[in-house]
Structure 1
Amino acid sequence: MTVLGDGTAALHDTGPVPGPGGWPVTYEQVATGNLPVAEPPPTVPRLSAGLRLHGEYQGSGFTEPKYIARRGDGQVVQLSRLLYLVASSVDGVRDVEAIAHRVSARFGREVSGENIRFLVEKKLEPLGVTVPEGQEDDEVDAPRSDLLLALKGHRVIFDERRTTKIARSLSWLHRPVVVALVLAAVVAMDVWLFGFFGAIEPVLQVLDQPVLILVVFVLTVASLVFHEFGHASACRYGGARPGCIGCGLFLIWPSMYTDVTDVYRIGRAGRLRTDLGGVYFNIVFMLAMAGAYFATGAQFFLATVYLGHFEILEQLMPAVRLDGYYILGDLAGVPDLYGKIKPILLALVPGPRGDKARQEVAGLKKSARTIVATWVLTMVPLIIGELGYALWNLPRILTTMVRSLTEQLVGTGSAFVDGKIVEGLVGTIGSVMLLCPMAGVVYLSVKIGGRLVRAAKRTTEGRPALRLVVCALVLAGLTGLSYAWVSGVTPKPLPKQPPIAPILQPGVPTEAPPARQADTPDRSTGPGDPSAPASGAPGLPAGASDGPSPAESSREASASASPSASAPGATGGNASRSPVPSSGGTAADPVPSPSDGTGAPQPEPSPTPSESVPESPTPTPTPPPASDTPDPAPAAS
């Protein structure tokens, strides 16, 4: 305080003094209450629960390096180098300023605290890598990729610790010398099985005995588990760390999986070894089954070997997310091939959208771009063709599915009611094998339909004229297709056939349905009447029959027995390439009179005493055997 000449006092700044919270304030600020507002504490980012940073994507097909992180919910995200450096510097202790100093030193360029705050809030939080500010727990609800053909409903069977032990104990099987011996052994086994022994004989023996079918089913499930051990052990052999082994639903079919995300940080050769590890262990399993056959003589082991070949072929198909898909993706250096379908197709369209898609495609190396473009341009027409083929054959598919499912469930229930437990269990397996493809077709159809509708709405948003055109085209297509279904232009349902594997379909008739006569025979004359026509049509002169001639009967019989001849495209089909069961149903064409297979008509049965037979003074001559009856026209093969 300073005393003036008139005796008054004046206040003046005495310098900063410690104030509330340690912030420097002046005396005037304290006296007037105009205190400075304290700045918020520095932000301390945190990683989301279960996040793993796997490092740089080795052997990538992108021009810029990509880094891989895996969230706790299993979603894999790709990060740029700067984002990966920021995420790897987040430990829950450092604030944005400390992270900025650390990232600047590693990135080689100056990065400020405000830059770090922006990257964390606008880039990493939307991806689910970091926790939003102010949230207490570390669980995040981040968006996931809506993959059409992804595995759903994951359930862990072997956790990471047990998987690591299993992989460590089996990794020696991936040594080059062992691999060469295994491949040589499987070649010798196949030459013996298919060239000398006969691979189909063990399968027929198994189909004849219900208990053996259950045994083969259990062995097939064991081969699936062993297949996953191959992926995990190959991952371990290559220097990566395998995760858990579990199961889920692929479309609607139960499938197994192995978490090998860590292979992205090893070289391309290691990833390909991991991709092929499952198929390689299928081969090892088949060799073990062949050894069990030589030790015991039980042929159901060879039936398991035979089925194992189909499992390998299925796994190597690159159309769906199985081993072949990931092998092709690792060859191209692109982890998600399906994610590149849209930009590859849009890059062919002129205009702004095409330019944006071409920029995204330009981020791929030339070799990767070639592989991905070839795959896309091959798969898209194939998928569209299969979808169109399934819609065209939809009536016959639904008819056959409902008919087969009804017979299967009724027959299996009857087996249990009659106390045939083994037959009932085998029939249950057959029911599951029939239900899963059906449910998969329905699920896939609903998903594809929903995606097409949403894509059409997004494309035509704000463009009413285009939306009207699209609706008109869709309506015209559905109208034409419905007319084809109703008018019978599309192929008719498959004729009912006896089951190929009767043991899987208990209660289903194993004989072909009885032949249906085209006309009602005249009972006024019997087969022994000398006036009976030689053509076998009672009451009608030769050449004047209103039913099919013997040659026509033979052709129709062959057509009803051969699915490929009953109607165009008789093999059926649907979007998921599920086989359409051939059992059950009614024939589309009139069924001819019985034939002995030579094209000659069979004699009518002898009349019963209750039937009226004209008296004859001479004995009724006995007709010659059916095989000696001359055929008036050559039978169609």
Structure 2
Amino acid sequence: MTVLGDGAAALYETGPVPGPGGWPVTYEQVATGNLPVVEQPSPVPRLSAGLRLHGEYQGSGFTEPKYIARRGDGQVVQLSRLLYLVASSVDGVRDAEAIAHRVSARFGREVSGENIRYLVEKKLEPLGVTVPEGQEDDEVDAPRSDLLLALKGHRVIFNERRTAKIARSLAWLHRPVAVALVLGSAVAMDVWLFGFFGAIEPVLEVLDQPVLILVVFVLTVASLVFHEFGHASACRYGGARPGCIGCGLFLIWPSMYTDVTDVYRIGRGGRLRTDLGGVYFNVVFMLAMAGAYFATGAQFFLATVYLGHFEIMEQLMPAVRLDGYYILGDLAGVPDLYGKIKPILLGLVPGPRGDRAREEVAGLKKSARAIVATWVLTMVPLIIGELGYALWNLPRILTTMIRSLTEQLVGTGAAFVDGKIVEGLVGTIGCVMLLCPMAGVVYLSVKIGGRIVRAAKRATADRPRLRLVICALALAGLTGLSYAWMSGVTPKPLPKQPPIAPILQPGVPTEEPPPARQASTPDRPTDSGAPSDTVPGGPSGSAGASAVPSAGQTSRGASASASPSASASASPGRGATRSPAPASGGPVTEPVSSPPESVPASPTPTPSESVPVSPTPSPSPPPASDSATPAPATS
């Protein structure tokens, strides 16, 4: 064994040698156990899959600038300037210290690595902007806004590349000269259509032909697609990048959408142009339909123009999330008006909760706050009133819808069985049009009921007495409403009416048959001043009906049957029809007439039998009773 000298040993022991993890340690530190603390490398943050940073929200209605990011699942989140700078510095390579140096230089204030780690873990990860530490993939399961009136079930029709290509080819229509020509031509078209030609005549012609109904339906769908390209091309013209075009369910109605989230980084004028681009392209489509009419003379093109006006008016309504809603939101500079309903309403309540709500809307500018508050205070009473009115009329709504749907399904099925394919297809469209509102009623009832229950549970989580009071009030309200439904206090269902568009309802009678009444037995001679309703039928004549005939009824002499057991109805098939509704609005169903019972023939005619029949209906009022008694047979 070789022994080293003191000087050599000291030199060697104090020199650094590679230690665990590559950190330099000495033999003295190893011998004494006083090893340095090895710092683990800082984790590297990563953005979630599909995240897009759109930049500052231009023309914002907030006092502080807001920044917009869109997750891969389509959810848009608002970020403060600091959070946006952190997210924009995350590239999957820099650690927290490197991100801190970059953010400090751009933010103008010193930000430490510990600050970055806190912002990433506590702010960005819950929003789904960054991926949690230790997760292998980039997919996140972040919470989404549970919007009641939002599009559900998205399906892409035109991907981003195709949408951008078509939008680029149509962007020239948004130039000022083209816009002026289009709007001027639209005014001239409406003056001619409504003032001279007549807009309803083409619609009536379409309703009379099943094939034309299908053609107009196809053209209407085409106008919806063209409407979405109006949004995409306006977005492209303003300098933003349009996304995909797809379809989904709005409530339960099939609807289309265009991803134009990138417009938040352009000015307010560009966003308003994008919002109005859809209805502007509806006008362009109507001008094309008018040109097709002048070229071919087919009036169904003008019917499409007429229906296009209703589509524009529907889109401009700011009540639901259609174009009018986004127009109003961009005018106020607030991207989500519905999100401000709760804080504005709670801000009217005194107390701590009202103070917190007022702080939430305090970040809005005065002009934006006035617009949003006016919209909230207008929409909330309307929504509550509509819900209350729908609940009050729920029995008549369900009864009428079920009756109409049953007749529609039976008639459409009969059309297919009889080989009437076109009528059956048009009837199928009518079935869908009936099913959609029915499904919408169920969907809204479930969603609104669930939200109310969850909100009540949250508000009374630690207050059992308040929960008991709310449950008692809800039970009392439901009991009173149920009593109103069952007792008939609420309005009665509408009487059956002939269809306005018979083509959409194959197999449904287009005319309501006249009311049915049974014959009554004359128990005493009639007055001398009024003619009798009986018909002298000769040797085997039968008694006529005692009810006053309707306008569509034939003369009594022509309707008399030769058999003693014949029905007393004045026209075939009247027995099972309904009489006109009384003043109260409820339907009155007459019983089916039964054959009159045979009685011994009188040897001599009674005075009522000897009076001749008037050729016109009797002006006397109908009998006070709707009941019918058999008339005696005459000899």
- Does the pair score TM above 0.5? yes
Q: Specify whether residues 220 and 28 from structure 1 end up closer, same or farther in structure 2 by C-alpha distance, changes over 3 A only.
A: same
Which residue does 1:101 correspond to in 2?
101
Structure 2 counterparts to residues 138-157 of structure 1, below 5 A: 138-157=138-157
Q: Specify whether residues 630 and 560 from structure 1 end up closer, same or farther in structure 2 by C-alpha distance, changes over 3 A only.
A: closer
Which residue does 1:534 correspond to in 2?
530
Which residue does 2:587 correspond to in 1?
588
- How many angstroms does 1:625 deviate by? 2.7
Which residue does 1:197 correspond to in 2?
197
2:73 is paired with a residue whose SS is: coil
On the 8 A contact 1:494/1:566 being kept in 2, the answer is: no
Which residue does 2:466 correspond to in 1?
466
Structure 2 counterparts to residues 275-424 of structure 1, below 5 A: 275-424=275-424
On the 8 A contact 1:524/1:612 being kept in 2, the answer is: no
Q: Residue deviations 1:542-569, cap 9 Å, x none?
A: xxxx99999xxxxxxxx98799x654xx
Structure 2 counterparts to residues 108-123 of structure 1, below 5 A: 108-123=108-123
The more displaced of 615-624 and 72-81 is 615-624
- In structure 2, distance between residues paired with 1:533 and 1:611: 28
- In structure 1, distance between residues paired with 2:138 and 2:353: 38
- How many angstroms does 1:326 deviate by? 0.4
Superposition misfits of 4+ residues, deviation over 6 angstroms = 1-4, 9-13, 535-539, 546-550, 559-563, 607-614, 616-619
Q: Specify whether residues 524 and 561 from structure 1 end up closer, same or farther in structure 2 by C-alpha distance, changes over 3 A only.
A: closer
- In structure 2, distance between residues paired with 1:515 and 1:181: 58
- In structure 1, distance between residues paired with 2:429 and 2:528: 53
Superposition CA RMSD, Å: 3.2
On the 8 A contact 1:90/1:99 being kept in 2, the answer is: yes
Q: Specify whether residues 67 and 616 from structure 1 end up closer, same or farther in structure 2 by C-alpha distance, changes over 3 A only.
A: same
The more displaced of 334-343 and 171-180 is 171-180
Q: Specify whether residues 608 and 317 from structure 1 end up closer, same or farther in structure 2 by C-alpha distance, changes over 3 A only.
A: same
- In structure 2, distance between residues paired with 1:75 and 1:166: 25
- In structure 1, distance between residues paired with 2:160 and 2:200: 40
Q: Specify whether residues 345 and 232 from structure 1 end up closer, same or farther in structure 2 by C-alpha distance, changes over 3 A only.
A: same
Q: Residue deviations 1:417-465, cap 9 Å, x none?
A: 1111001000000000000111011001100000000000111111111
Q: Specify whether residues 30 and 495 from structure 1 end up closer, same or farther in structure 2 by C-alpha distance, changes over 3 A only.
A: same
- How many angstroms does 1:11 deviate by? 12
- In structure 2, distance between residues paired with 1:27 and 1:269: 72
Count, aligned residues: 577
Which residue does 1:167 correspond to in 2?
167
On the 8 A contact 2:581/2:588 being kept in 1, the answer is: no
- How many angstroms does 1:538 deviate by? 7.8
- How many angstroms does 1:630 deviate by? 5.4
Q: Which amino acid aligns with 2:530?
A: A
- How many angstroms does 1:306 deviate by? 0.9
Q: Which amino acid aligns with 1:210?
A: P
Which residue does 1:625 correspond to in 2?
616
- How many angstroms does 1:198 deviate by? 1.2
Structure 2 counterparts to residues 221-260 of structure 1, below 5 A: 221-260=221-260
Q: Residue deviations 1:43-85, cap 9 Å, x none?
A: 2111111110000000000010000000010000000000001
Q: Specify whether residues 460 and 214 from structure 1 end up closer, same or farther in structure 2 by C-alpha distance, changes over 3 A only.
A: same
Q: Which amino acid aligns with 1:501?
A: A
Which residue does 1:553 correspond to in 2?
none
- In structure 2, distance between residues paired with 1:279 and 1:64: 32
The more displaced of 186-195 and 49-58 is 186-195
- How many angstroms does 1:534 deviate by? 2.9
- In structure 2, distance between residues paired with 1:43 and 1:249: 42
**Structure 2 unaligned residues grouped into runs of 5+:** 536-545, 551-577, 623-635
- In structure 2, distance between residues paired with 1:164 and 1:217: 27
- In structure 2, distance between residues paired with 1:611 and 1:405: 49
2:58 is paired with a residue whose SS is: coil
1:125 is paired with a residue whose SS is: helix
- How many angstroms does 1:210 deviate by? 0.6
1:126 is paired with a residue whose SS is: helix
Q: Specify whether residues 199 and 118 from structure 1 end up closer, same or farther in structure 2 by C-alpha distance, changes over 3 A only.
A: same
Which residue does 1:521 correspond to in 2?
520
Q: Which amino acid aligns with 1:167?
A: A
Q: Specify whether residues 125 and 377 from structure 1 end up closer, same or farther in structure 2 by C-alpha distance, changes over 3 A only.
A: same
- In structure 2, distance between residues paired with 1:303 and 1:331: 34
Which residue does 2:495 correspond to in 1?
495
Q: Residue deviations 1:471-503, cap 9 Å, x none?
A: 111011011111111110000111011111111
**Structure 1 unaligned residues grouped into runs of 5+:** 540-545, 551-558, 568-586, 593-606
- How many angstroms does 1:2 deviate by? 10
- How many angstroms does 1:38 deviate by? 2.5
- How many angstroms does 1:185 deviate by? 1.0
On the 8 A contact 2:531/2:613 being kept in 1, the answer is: no
The more displaced of 17-26 and 154-163 is 17-26
1:456 aligns with 2:456: yes
Q: Which amino acid aligns with 2:24?
A: P
Which residue does 1:87 correspond to in 2?
87
1:359 is paired with a residue whose SS is: helix
- In structure 2, distance between residues paired with 1:536 and 1:208: 44
